[in-house]
């Protein structure tokens, strides 16, 4: 019997990970710990909230006493750590909250894990979910490998790189059994509409300008979020202790091209005439220190664990757009912040 602590399970990727584990592994208890910041939303996992093998706990990964108690009370056997501040633009305006959550919060969890598991570290896994942004920015060619030297360029990526280093330091110093994965840009249902694709979908719906940073020439490698959750499942169960796995979509797009693709798709879905949504594209001031290109070489996870993306990109985009159009309440709630009321009503607390 495993009691797995998933941190950040009310967020975008975490909610898909929680759903996959709760539905697939009835013999595991999944304890979802989330602070419910602006990015955490229990509506994301409404469908599994009454499952017998699932429990939600509201709390802060930076609160050492609370985390130690949680390990003890829930008899935590393993950790899958996703809780983080995750938006690059926010890290530029408020870097310290990224240092706090992503660095201090990760170390707080590492400390608790070693303290609680010290009798037999060999039975436990601490899995840290990280980003390809730790490797820095690529020019037109080349790919990020697991051996690519770290070269983070934004406050967000510096905080994630730092947390990766701490995880490896705990493996070396305290013999904690760790796994790390570094993934490319995710897209799909439940992504907070501050990130490129849901922001554009929401703005097209509301006939608002589509802000493309700089010339729109930056390149990202896009992966459907459920495929990331599948990779996390494979790495948690089959990955080698102490190893790092890069996860990506083999799917690079220039921002301006992906925005045009989305506009065309939205025109069709909304019954607008062709080219209507693209008229909303507005070039705006570039992001400070904007990384030019991310591209993952995911051949290690493919070769060693047999993982590869299950969806073609066109299919993933279609599913994504349909989900946002079929769930206007979700978009309305997260943009108005009223999803906090759901938590209050469901759990009868603040
Ligand atoms: P998200 O912002 O949607 O969710 C983060 C979650 O963490 C939220 O539910 C939030 O409430 C919670 N949280 C924040 N601070 C907390 C704290 N102090 N204590 C407890 N919970 C807290 O993020 P996401 O996009 O789902 O990313 C999840 C993880 O995956 C992050 O570690 C991120 O760095 C990594 N990642 C994201 C992407 C991507 O494209 N989104 C790609 C690769 C890696
Ligand atoms: O690569 C993985 C990372 O992907 C994750 O670690 C981060 O948590 C996640 O937020 C994402 O970071 P990006 O900065 O790449 O994602 P974002 O959606 O913010 O932006 C994608 C690209 O689109 C980027 O080049 C900036 C650009 N952009 C973004 C927004 C929000 C715009 O042109 N306009 C916008 O309004």
pLDDT in tens, 91-105: 999 999 999 999 999
Q: Is 143 in the pocket of ligand 1 (CB under 6 A)?
A: no
Q: How many A from CA of 279 to the centre of ligand 1? A: 33
Residue 346 has pLDDT above 80, yes or no: no
pLDDT in tens, 237-293: 999 999 999 999 999 999 999 999 999 999 999 999 999 999 999 999 999 999 999
Task: State the CB neighbour count (10 A cutoff) for residue 20.
Answer: 17
Query: Of ligand 1's atoms, which has the minimum distance to the CA of residue 191?
Result: 3
- Predicted confidence at residue 338, as pLDDT, reads 76
The domains of the chain, with CATH numbers, are: 2-188+223-250+292-311 (3.40.50.720)
- Predicted confidence at residue 349, as pLDDT, reads 67
Give percent of the chain above pLDDT 90. Answer: 95
- Predicted confidence at residue 345, as pLDDT, reads 74
Mean pLDDT computed over every residue of the chain: 97
Q: Is 225 in the pocket of ligand 1 (CB under 6 A)?
A: no
Residue 343 has pLDDT above 90, yes or no: no
pLDDT in tens, 151-204: 999 999 999 999 999 999 999 999 999 999 999 999 999 999 999 999 999 999
Give the residue from 284, 285, 261 showing the smallest Cα distance to 204: 261
Task: State the CB neighbour count (10 A cutoff) for residue 172.
Answer: 10
Place of tokens 């020439």: 217
Q: How many A from CA of 126 to the centre of ligand 1? A: 17
pLDDT in tens, 3-36: 999 999 999 999 999 999 999 999 999 999 999 9
pLDDT in tens, 192-228: 999 999 999 999 999 999 999 999 999 999 999 999 9
State how far the Cα of 85 lies from the Cα of 157, in Å rounded to an integer.
10
Active-site residues, by number, are 132-133, 156
* Strand arrangement, sheet containing 2-7: 54-58, 28-34, 2-7, 78-81, 125-131, 178-183, 244-247
Give percent of the chain above pLDDT 70. Answer: 98
Q: How many A from CA of 156 to the centre of ligand 2? A: 11
- Kindly report the protein residue whose alpha carbon is nearest to atom 4 of ligand 2: 185
pTM of the predicted structure, to 2 decimals: 0.98
Ligand 2 pocket: which of 150, 185, 261 to mutate (most atoms within 8 A of CB): 185
Residue 350 has pLDDT above 90, yes or no: no
Within a 13 Å sphere around the CA of 241, how many CA atoms are in the beta-carbon half? 13
Contacts of 301 (CB under 8 A, 6+ apart): 181, 231, 234, 235, 245, 246, 247, 307
Q: Is 132 in the pocket of ligand 2 (CB under 6 A)?
A: yes
Ligand nearest the Cα atom of residue 189 = 1
Q: What is the DSSP annotation of 206-235?
A: TT--EEEETTS--EEEEEEHHHHHHHHHHH
Q: How confident is the model at residue 339 (pLDDT cuts 50, 70, 90)?
A: confident
- Predicted confidence at residue 347, as pLDDT, reads 67
């Amino acid at each position: 019997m495993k009691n797995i602590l998933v941190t950040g399970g009310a967020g975008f990727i975490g909610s898909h990970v929680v759903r996959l584990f709760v539905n697939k592994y009835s013999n595991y208890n999944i304890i979802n710990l989330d602070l419910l910041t602006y990015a955490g939303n229990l509506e994301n996992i409404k469908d599994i909230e009454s499952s017998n093998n699932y429990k939600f706990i509201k709390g802060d990964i930076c609160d050492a006493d609370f985390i130690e108690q949680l390990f003890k009370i829930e008899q935590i056997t393993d950790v899958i750590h996703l809780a983080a501040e995750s938006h690059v633009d926010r890290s530029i305006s408020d870097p310290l909250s990224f240092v706090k959550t992503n660095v201090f919060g990760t170390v707080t969890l590492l400390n608790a894990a070693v303290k609680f598991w010290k009798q037999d570290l060999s039975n436990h896994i601490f899995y840290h979910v990280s980003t390809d942004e730790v490797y820095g920015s690529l020019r037109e060619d080349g790919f990020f490998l697991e051996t690519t030297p770290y070269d983070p360029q934004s406050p967000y990526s510096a905080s994630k790189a730092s947390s990766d280093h701490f995880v490896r330091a705990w493996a070396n110093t305290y013999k904690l059994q760790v796994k790390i994965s570094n993934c490319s840009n995710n897209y799909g249902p439940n992504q907070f509409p501050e990130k490129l694709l849901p922001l554009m979908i929401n703005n097209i719906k509301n006939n608002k300008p589509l802000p493309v940073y700089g010339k729109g020439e930056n390149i990202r490698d896009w992966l459907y979020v459920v495929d990331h959750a599948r990779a996390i499942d494979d790495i948690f169960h089959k990955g080698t202790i102490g190893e790092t796995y890069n996860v990506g979509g083999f799917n690079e797009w220039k921002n301006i091209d992906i925005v045009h693709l989305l506009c065309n798709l939205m025109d069709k879905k909304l019954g607008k005439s062709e080219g209507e949504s693209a008229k909303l594209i507005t070039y705006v001031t570039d992001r400070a220190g904007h990384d030019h290109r991310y591209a993952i070489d995911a051949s290690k996870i493919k070769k060693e664990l047999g993982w590869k993306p299950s969806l073609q990109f066109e299919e993933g985009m279609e599913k994504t757009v349909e989900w946002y159009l079929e769930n206007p309440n979700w978009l309305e709630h997260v943009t108005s912040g009223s999803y906090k009321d759901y938590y209050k009503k469901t759990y009868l607390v603040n």
